[in-house]
Structure 1
Amino acid sequence: MIIAQIALPASAAPSRAMTELRRIVEQNVAEIDGDAETVYSPEMFTRHYRSQHTWRVIHLLAIDGEIGPRMESSYGLPLLAGSAEGIALWGDDPATPISLTPEAPWTGEVIGMASVEAPLRETVDAAYVDINAVLGREDAYRPLWEAAKAICLAEGRTKITAYADHPFGDELSAPSSELTLARTRYSNFLESAGFELTQTETCSRLPLPADETIAATLTAEALEKSGGYRTVSWAGPTPEEHRRDLVTLISAFHLDMPAAGIVEAEVNFDIDRLIEGDRRLEALGIVSLTTAAQHIESGRLVGHTRLDLLPGSRAVVQEDTLVLKEHRGHRLGLLIKMANLRQLNAIAPERTFIQTWNAGENAWMWAINERMGFRPHNGAGQWQKDIAAG
């Protein structure tokens, strides 16, 4: 078995390696979810891999067979092309590779993949690892993890987190909540590698279109309690006049998220990063729908919620939702979520479901989602390991 690294792509045209990586991810997501509607296309994976502004991302493949002579990465791994043009080598200029070499064909069978994602602007001692293997080739887990661990150590990242999809069950529990999960072949490997389950989450879905009677009832309830506030909605990049407030809200969201385990909450978010993130979503073809709660007297945005429309998919992904602590108690979370649902119905009525995740201990947000019609779809687990300890 060969563990190879995928070079950063020179364009958005996916190489064989990127197409194979997406295939492995798709199979593993469908194994638990029942579908792969939320998985990026090969083109989106490739565009995402090109963007290394706030995260350092490294993709690996496990290959059964030969790939022939190869250039090596800085981690000593053979390199595969990240885009159709060939293997790109990069210097200081993120826009132009210093060399681009056509890739020789390779015949090995891809049996697994791993991704290492390391934040560059906060929690710089942490990294996030995702490992997937073809069913029946669980022997790929260990060498992929060993290669990923070596990269993490080389980058000074010792607090490692792996997220895993799970069916619901009573075999696994975390200290942070009462939500329990079933074991999977991936979680069996993570346990054998010394990872600990530190948080459990519910992945839920809301079928679309949402029930009109429920929507009307919840909207009326929110309007009754939210005097002194109004909603502001937009699709796509954040309007300039709202950027400062949204930076405050996003920063508060990341610090307020239920956090369990070994990675301390830390945020380093500013207007430049907000603009950069909006551009990145546009480059991926993702349309974001945002609704904010505006305090009428001050004019400030005091809460927000965001939905992402994935291109070429029936899925909508629920991202951030937060109301500032000093403005809670006015049903603003419900108000903005219902307003954003109306915006979604007007812009993309063809979408068939919204998917979201809630930590097991986040009963407040789950209560809102459940009233809207969200129903549990599967579970998710946060697995962690401090590799500084061995």
Structure 2
Amino acid sequence: MRNYHIVELDQPRDDAPGAILTAFQGVEALERDFDLARHGNDDQTDPAAAMLSQYRPSSDSEYVWLLAIAGDAPAGSTTGRFGLLVLRPDDALVPTDVVGAVNFALPLRDNRDAVQDIMMHVRPQWRRHGIGHALQTAVEQVAALRGRTVLQGYSDARASQAADALHPARGPFAIEPDEGTAFALAMGYQLAQAERHSVQDLTAYDFAAPVSPDGYRIETWTGRTPEPLRTHMAEMLRVMSMAAPAGDFHFEEEIWDAARVSAMDDEVLDAREAIVSLAIHERTGEAAGLSQLYRTIGKPAVVDQWNTVVAAGHRGHSLGLVLKQANLVRLADVWPEARRVHTWNATENDYMWAINERLGYRTENIDAGWQKRL
């Protein structure tokens, strides 16, 4: 049996992140190896510097990284905020010491019963040594300390039509019963939703300017949300929190205001760039729709489509398509190096998939969304 120990990452110092940056370099290498083996590219592997930048105190969520480190714990190791051994900036570490990792968010404003966005990776040569189980046990220890009773996470999966495929309650895709699926089920998770991961090839896209529907105007910007539009942005993010199909996931409506939008920009744009379009209903001044593109600094060719949503009272005017097209026109101007856009949608969301197909998206794979109640 190989030796390893589980640690939580201390908060890094701005002036000398030390071993915290080294740890993220190890995570970057681990995730890149997985992505290359699974997808043939590292588009979704964040650079270590971006991970470090995003691992800061936040007004929205408490972010947590737990790592499996090869070897025995050093003498004199101390515990951190969750009662686990803690890796501090001054500790000795090399990137290859990181043999497993899990990260997640503890929402602070809403959904305060949940641990969200759990993502776990273990180096192939270190699997079947109990690392996944040890990391999951640590996640549940953190959940208990913070009073969280719902665990929610994702794993890379593949669609399957086999007799033993795992079916979510909604949507047309079932999940291949692979190693990741077996692990999630063994840890007590249930398949809450299947998500379609699709990719748009920008080299084949015609960047024609969209025509806004009568009675609406489209506001498009790069970077921070303009102050006059923050309240509109907040309203659309609130709508998005409940409008997107959620399968069997338990979600509460998110609480948004202009101050939270500004704080989000402070946190997200430290490591990313943004292009955002907002639809305004001219007669009432209401926010009618939203679409967001982001790319990580240091990965100029790769863009991620985040939220696209249209308010219920303004559907039927092709606003979702127009907003996405407006973002792409701005992208061609300010991000000429961009080559691909990745997006994730619930497989039961036929409306959004119809828009994406029209824009040239093609399915890359199906991701599995998991939920466990403690």
TM exceeding 0.5: yes
Other-structure match for 1:163: 154
> What is residue 51 of structure 2 aligned with on the other side?
45
Instruction: Please state how far the C-alpha of 1:211 moved relative to its aligned partner.
Output: 2.7
**Cα gap change, 1:295 to 1:111, in 2 (>3 Å):** same
Question: Where does residue 340 of structure 1 map in the other structure?
Answer: 327
Q: Which residue of 2 aligns with 1:308?
A: 294
Aligned to 2:142: 151
Secondary structure at the counterpart of residue 303 of structure 1: strand
Choose the corresponding residue for 2:8, options 5, 8, 18. Answer: 5
Structure 1 Cα separation of the partners of residues 326 and 251 of structure 2 = 33
For residue 65 of structure 1, the aligned residue among 61, 71, 94 is 71
Spell out the pairing of 1:53-202 with structure 2 (5 A cutoff).
53-69=59-75, 70-81=77-88, 86=89, 102-104=90-92, 109-128=97-116, 129-138=118-127, 139=129, 140-170=131-161, 171-202=165-196
Amino acid at match of 1:60: L
Tell me how far apart the structure 2 counterparts of residues 113 and 350 of structure 1 sit (CA, whole Å): 31
Q: 1:258 to 1:20 in 2, by over 3 A?
A: same
Superposed displacement of residue 153, structure 1 = 1.2
Unaligned runs of 5+ in 1: 87-101
Corresponding residue for 2:31? 25
Q: Structure 1 residue 249 and structure 2 residue 236: aligned? A: yes
Deviation of the 1:352 alpha carbon: 0.8
Q: 1:365 aligns with which of 348, 352, 362?
A: 352
Aligned equivalent of 1:235, options 219, 222, 240: 222
The equivalent residue for 2:338 is 351
Per mean C-alpha deviation after superposition, the further-off stretch among 256-265 and 42-51 is 256-265
Tell me how many residue pairs correspond in the alignment. Answer: 360
Q: Report the Cα distance in structure 2 between the residues aligned to 1:317 and 1:141, rounded to whole angstroms.
A: 28
Query: Which 4+ runs in 1 deviate beyond 6 A?
Result: none
Shift of 1:23: 2.2
Query: What percentage of aligned pairs have identical amino acids?
Result: 27
Q: Does the CA contact (< 8 Å) of 1:206 and 1:374 recur in 2?
A: yes
Secondary structure of 2:180 counterpart: helix
Deviations 1:156-209 (A, max 9, x none): 111111111112223222012121222332221111111111100100000013
Letter in 2 for 1:289: I
**Distance in 2 (alpha carbons) for counterparts of 1:117 and 1:29:** 22
RMSD, aligned CA: 2.0
Give the distance between the partners of 1:20 and 1:204, measured in 2 at CA.
27
* 1:293 is aligned to 2:284: no
CA positional deviation for 1:370: 0.5
Residue 369 of structure 1 aligns to a residue whose secondary structure is helix
Any conservation in 1 of the 2:21–2:49 contact (CA below 8 Å)?
no
Aligned to 2:343, the other structure's residue is in SS state strand
Per-residue deviation, 1:351: 0.7
Which residue in the other structure is 2:203 paired with? Answer: 209
Determine if contact 1:32/1:378 at 8 Å carries over to the other structure.
no
Cα distance in 2 between the residues matched to 1:208 and 1:104: 43
SS of the counterpart of 1:15?
helix
**Alignment partners' CA distance in 2, 1:59 and 1:173:** 30
Q: Once the two structures are superposed, what CA deviation does each residue of 1:48-78 show, in whole Å capped at 9, x if it has no partner?
A: 1113321112211112313412121133322
SS at structure 2 position matched to 1:187: helix
- Change in CA separation of 1:184 and 1:51 when aligned onto 2, cut-off 3 Å: farther
Q: CA deviation at 1:296?
A: 2.4
Q: TM-score, normalization: structure 2? A: 0.91
1:75-124 CA-partner distances (Å, limit 9, x unpaired)? 3322112xxxx2xxxxxxxxxxxxxxx32457983221112321111111
Structure 1 residue 262: Cα displacement: 4.5
Q: What amino acid is aligned across from residue 190 of structure 1 in structure 2?
A: A
Task: Show the counterpart of 2:41.
Answer: 35
Pair 1:210–1:277, CA change in 2 (3 A): farther
Shift of 1:326: 0.8
- The residue type paired with residue 123 of structure 2 is V
Distance 2:65 2:298 in 1: 23
- For structure 1, which segment, 49-58 or 352-361, has the greater mean C-alpha deviation from structure 2 after superposition? 49-58
What is the TM-score when the length of structure 1 is the normalising length? Answer: 0.87
